[in-house]
Amino acid sequence: MKLKILEKEPLTVALLPFTYKITYTGEEIKPLWSLRALGLQGDSLVIFNGPLRVEASELVDMKDFLKGGKEGPVICADEAVSMVIEHFDQQPPSLRLMYHRLRILAFLFRELVEETCDVRLTRKGTDFYFEGGKLNVGVATVSPSSGKIHFAFNISSKGAPPGIKIASLLDLGLKKEDVEAFTVSLARRYRAEILDIDKDVAKSRTF
């Protein structure tokens, strides 16, 4: 398994090629996962694909716990893309800031989907829907050292929890062989947006 570095510091973008499958379990949103698992130190955005299998004990969003109960995976899908982001630029980390960043990523996702697939999505928070099916999941959290985001979207519509209708990129008309390039484009848009905000901060006079 060879990690591809697509963009370097100050916000590293790394891709685990889609020929590999990694199951997202919730372990990946814990602090320093990218350093422990992949050797990436500092602010990073890691892209990988594979199933989602998040048990109740690993949930960050407690509303999902209340909805899903305590038995079996509460968040699950057979084929999904995961983006795991970690920021160290604010100490102590701010959960509010990380949810603002999650919103930025979500809006960029919607923009790219609608540009690429010529569809219209509906939105509830950071969740998007196509013809009543839920397309993605997203959550943010913090530790004493960093802020984390997990944002994932379905490649196919298989493996959803019972009673939950999901949509997928394939449903939107995106070809499976194009999903990796789509995700890389989204990651680069997020990186550019965050770094552009940093430039705005560095140029602005304060009083």
CATH entry, 4-202, from 3.40.30.10, 2.130.10.10, 3.10.20.340, 3.30.930.10: 3.30.930.10
Residue 45: the pLDDT is 98
Please report, rounded to a whole number, the percentage of residues in the chain having pLDDT higher than 70. 94
Residue 64: the pLDDT is 66
Model confidence over 5-24: pLDDT tens digits?
Answer: 999 999 999 999 999 999 99
Residue 62: the pLDDT is 65
Residue 72: the pLDDT is 58
Q: Where are the domains of the chain?
A: 4-202
Identify the burial level of 63 via C-beta atoms within 10 angstroms of its C-beta, where 0-12 means exposed, 13-18 middle and 19 or more buried: exposed
Instruction: Reply yes or no on whether the pLDDT at 193 is more than 80.
Output: yes
Write down the pTM of the prediction: 0.94
Q: Compute the average pLDDT of residues 144-169.
A: 95
- How many residues make up the chain in this entry? 207
Q: Compute the average pLDDT of residues 28-33.
A: 98
User: If pLDDT is split at 50, 70 and 90, which confidence band does 185 have?
Assistant: very high
Instruction: Reply yes or no on whether the pLDDT at 39 is more than 90.
Output: yes
63 vs 115, which has greater pLDDT?
A: 115
